[in-house]
């Protein structure tokens, strides 16, 4: 059993955390991800990251737990995971030719100790034709991704630009900020 636990079953987050070469386990958090009425996307991401970490930490005392969540923000309105092909196409059509902010929050906690960080990435979508959107969604099936794309795959072709401080944040786990938090918690991270 490792000292570190990722409060997620996301293969994307697991792959990112493996880059740090620290032993860790994964646990599924039991958290309702429904946005609160009027909740801003940045607040939603921060609340859910903390809730996931706290819920898993309560079941695993003595272990450091990483919680992370991401919310897409189109002019103040949150865009969640589409869940269906129709919703994914509709989201991408809505974002076509526009800038969308992605708030990625992380929380590292253990037995009452807690460290938090947030990252903001702006994605500028190029103008997308309906046929392009349909081809992309059929090819990559981004139904479990906030914003309906996978930037680490074919989704990169949908953009004009990505503006951020941490290239891993858009995938779902900002490793630069996480390394800082892990060092604060006493982990030896190069």
Report field, pTM of the whole predicted structure over 0.85: yes
Query: Domain 4-184: which topology?
Result: Maf protein (3.90.950)
Q: Where are the domains of the chain?
A: 4-184
Q: What is the 3-state secondary structure (H, E, C) of the chain?
A: CCCEEECCCCHHHHHHHHCCCCCCEECCCCCCCCCCCCCCHHHHHHHHHHHHHHHHHHHCCCCEEEEEEEEEEECCEEECCCCCHHHHHHHHHHHCCCEEEEEEEEEEEECCEEEEEEEEEEEEECCCCHHHHHHHHHHHCCCCCCCCCCCCCHHHHHEEEEECCCCCHHHCCCHHHHHHHHHHCCCCCC
Catalytic residue set:
69
Integer Cα distance of 157 and 9 in angstroms: 27
> pLDDT of the chain along its 190 residues, tens only?
678 999 998 888 999 999 999 999 999 999 998 889 989 999 999 999 999 999 999 999 999 999 999 999 999 888 888 989 999 999 999 999 999 999 999 999 999 999 999 999 999 999 999 999 999 999 999 888 888 888 888 889 999 999 999 989 988 899 999 999 999 999 988 7
């Amino acid at each position: 059993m490792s000292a570190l636990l990722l409060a997620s079953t996301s293969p994307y987050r697991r792959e990112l955390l493996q880059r740090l070469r620290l032993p860790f386990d994964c646990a599924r958090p039991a958290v309702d991800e429904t946005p609160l009425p009027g909740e801003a996307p940045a607040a939603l991401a921060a609340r859910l990251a903390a809730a996931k970490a706290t819920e898993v930490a309560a079941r695993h005392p003595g272990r450091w737990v990483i919680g992370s969540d991401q919310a897409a923000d189109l002019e103040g309105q949150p865009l969640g995971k589409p869940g269906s092909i129709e919703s994914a196409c509709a989201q991408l059509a809505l974002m076509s030719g526009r800038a969308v902010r992605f708030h990625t929050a992380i929380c590292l906690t253990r037995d009452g100790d807690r460290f938090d960080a947030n990252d903001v990435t702006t994605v500028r979508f190029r103008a997308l034709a309906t046929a392009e959107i349909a081809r992309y969604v059929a090819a990559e099936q981004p139904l479990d991704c906030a914003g309906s794309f996978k930037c680490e795959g074919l989704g990169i072709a949908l953009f004009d630009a990505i503006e951020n401080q941490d290239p891993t944040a858009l995938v779902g786990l900002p490793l630069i900020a996480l390394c800082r938090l892990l060092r604060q918690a006493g982990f030896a991270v190069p």
